[in-house]
């Protein structure tokens, strides 16, 4: 299969033009080829149509619609190694479910996932966090609108933590979560589905057992409620990708606590203990060490697209906050573009994104005067836990830059 993928990458510029009068093969006469056909394309039409069928949806996203001639050929060559081409194409795509508290970095993570040609974003579930849950729903819809993807369902979830007081991150994301920039054309909350987020999360994962990667870039309240309602849920996930927690006791909300875990420590405790599926953690210090330069940020936002213009409008408040005295104190390792949530999304999108990681049991401190909400990494095995989280340490930053650029393209 990898050989076919390389072959198609070489020939992908032909996909839009395959016809009997163009570069490739005549689907009505499989033995014929045009004189100008490159040697890498000298294969029977049945093989080429099979390759296009397996990878066709990705190419449609990248290179435009395939020709009607190619589409009609798929029916003639519908079996690939005992499975239909539709099944093969579906099997190669990743199904994502994103649970967000849609601030600016959540928006960036959503746009990164939406731009990935191999990803189906099944739904967006919303929860309290950076702003109120109503604002979160509205912001998620605004992001989907900017990406022309309003068909993706949005569900409203928990509006407060399991215990304790609600906090927000308005100092960084603005009161509304997206920089407090007026948007008269924003979609209305009537587009939010009637089904609750927790119910939708349970339903979608059960409808797609073993296939869904859950990307959680917010306080983990929805996930904690879901596992308490359906304890079998974690075993039906392909993987869980969390932006949250910390590994060096460096806080950005309290002395020792990262925002998403501090916003609902009990929920984080439940999730880290009850979700025994493959669990990937993009923790606060790691995201800071993996920051991108402001020069990259300037080029990223300068792309002449509607998506880049949208991001430029909503990101101004956060960029100013990052450069403030408070922002400089919170950031680890100096100033720069820290799109925290995008690292979790990128890891879910690309299995090769994480280049170095550590595996340890983890939990969350619930009672400490200064440490409530801090993630505890058990390097010595004192907790006697068998499940180990995968803690990201290093990632492919060049690939990350490409994914971020594609998000606004």
Known catalytic residues are 101
DSSP annotation of 337 reads B
Residue 290 Cα distances to 283, 339, 352, 363, angstroms: 11, 9, 16, 23
Is-contact 27 49, C-beta < 8 A?
yes
Handedness of CA 215, 217, 218, 224 (dihedral sign): positive
Closest CA to 400 of 280, 297, 251: 297
Closest CA to 233 of 268, 207, 194: 207
Helix axes 68-76, 45-63, angle to 10 degrees: 130
The SS3 assignment for 183 reads: coil
Q: How far apart are the first and last CA of the chain?
A: 29
Closest CA to 200 of 258, 275, 123: 123
51 CB neighbour count, 10 Å cutoff: 22
Q: What is the distance between the alpha carbons of residues 162 and 136, in angstroms, rounded to a whole number?
A: 18
Is-contact 359 122, C-beta < 8 A?
no
The token pair that represents 103 in the structure block: 């601030």
DSSP annotation of 128 reads S
């Amino acid at each position: 299969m990898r050989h076919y993928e390389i072959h198609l990458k070489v020939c992908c510029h032909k996909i839009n033009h395959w016809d009997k009068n163009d570069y490739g093969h005549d689907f009505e006469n499989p033995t014929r080829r045009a004189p100008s056909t490159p040697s890498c394309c000298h294969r029977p039409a049945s093989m080429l149509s099979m390759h296009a069928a397996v990878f066709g949806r990705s190419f449609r996203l990248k290179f435009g619609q395939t020709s009607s001639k190619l589409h009609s050929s798929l029916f003639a060559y519908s079996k690939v190694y005992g499975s239909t081409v539709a099944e093969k194409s579906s099997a190669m795509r990743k199904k994502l479910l994103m649970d967000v508290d849609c601030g600016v970095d959540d928006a960036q993570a959503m746009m990164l996932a939406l731009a990935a040609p191999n990803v189906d974003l099944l739904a967006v579930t919303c929860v309290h966090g950076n702003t109120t849950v109503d604002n979160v729903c509205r912001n998620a819809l605004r992001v989907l609108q900017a990406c022309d993807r309003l068909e993706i369902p949005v569900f409203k979830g928990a509006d407060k933590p399991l215990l304790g007081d609600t906090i927000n991150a308005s100092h960084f994301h603005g009161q509304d979560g997206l920089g407090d920039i007026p948007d008269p054309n924003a979609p209305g909350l009537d587009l939010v589905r009637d089904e609750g987020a927790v119910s939708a999360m349970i339903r979608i994962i059960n409808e797609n057992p073993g296939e869904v990667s859950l990307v959680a870039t917010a306080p983990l309240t929805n996930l904690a409620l879901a596992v308490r309602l359906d304890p079998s849920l974690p075993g039906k996930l392909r993987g869980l990708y969390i932006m949250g927690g910390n590994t060096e006791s460096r806080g950005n909300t309290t002395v020792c606590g990262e925002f998403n875990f501090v916003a609902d420590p009990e929920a984080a405790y439940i999730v880290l203990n009850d979700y025994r599926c493959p669990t990937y953690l993009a923790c606060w210090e790691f995201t800071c060490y993996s920051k991108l330069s402001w020069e990259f940020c300037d080029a990223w936002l300068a792309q002449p697209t509607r998506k880049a213009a949208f991001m430029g409008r909503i990101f101004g408040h956060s960029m100013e906050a990052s450069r403030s005295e408070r922002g400089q104190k919170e950031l680890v390792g100096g100033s720069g573009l820290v799109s925290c949530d995008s690292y979790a999304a990128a890891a879910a999108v690309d299995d090769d994104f994480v280049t170095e990681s550590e595996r340890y049991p983890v939990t969350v401190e619930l009672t400490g005067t200064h440490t409530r909400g801090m993630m505890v990494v058990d390097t010595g095995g004192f907790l006697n836990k068998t499940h180990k989280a995968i803690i990201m340490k290093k990632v492919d930053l060049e690939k990350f830059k490409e994914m971020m650029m594609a998000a606004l393209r």
